Amino acid sequence: MSVPDAERFLRQLKTKPAAFAAAAAVLVLDQLTKLAMRHILLDGVPRDILGSVVRVTLRYNTGAAFSLGWGGPVILSVFTVLASVFLVRYMLKIEGRKKVLWLGVVLGGAVGNLTDRLIMGKVTDFIDIGSTGWRWPTFNVADIAICIGGIAVFFLFKGSKRLEVPTKENQT
C-alpha cells in the first residue's frame, strides 16, 4: 500500500463510522416512532397536532413510499435489499464526509421500511399533513430520511464531474 493509499484509507476509517451511526440512528428513531404510534393510535383515526394541518394517523402501506402501489412487499423488499447493498458498497468506496453521511441517512430510511416489510408485510405510516380537501400521502421517519437524504446526495454529487466509484484505474 502506497502512502497516498494509506492516507485515503485512514480518511475513510474516520468517515465511515459516522455514516453507519447515522443509518443506525435513523433506523432506531424510525422503529421507535412506529412502535409508539402503533400502541397510541387507532388505525385510521387522526389525532390533530397542529390543527388539522399536521396530525398523526395510523395507516399501513403495502406499496412504495407515500403509499404508491409498486409490485407488492416481496418485490419491494428484494429491491430494497439490493439498493441497500449498493449503498453500503458505494459508501465504503467513495470519499467525502458529507456524501457518505447523507448516504448513511438514506440507508437508515431504507432499512427502516425494509424492517417493517420483513416483520409485518407492510410499512407503518403515521405523519399526516394537509388541509381541508387535500392531504399528502401519510408517511414516516424513514420516508423523511430517504427524501431529505436523497435530495442532499443529489446536490452534493451535482458538482461532481461524474458519479463513479473510485477504482485503481481512475484514481490517478
Active-site position among 30, 116, 128, 143? 143
Active-site position among 30, 116, 125, 128? 125
Confirm whether 30 is a catalytic residue: no
Q: Which three cell numbers stand for residue 22?
A: 447515522
Q: Tell me how far CA of residue 167 lies from CA of 43, 57, 172, in angstroms.
A: 50, 47, 9
Angle between helices 97-120 and 3-40 (to 10 degrees): 40
Confirm whether 125 is a catalytic residue: yes
d(CA 86, CA 88): 6
Contact yes or no for 27/116 (Cβ under 8 A): no
DSSP letter (8 states) at residue 137: P
How many C-alpha atoms does 127 have within 13 Å on its Cβ side? Answer: 11
d(CA 99, CA 63): 28
Catalytic site positions: 125, 143
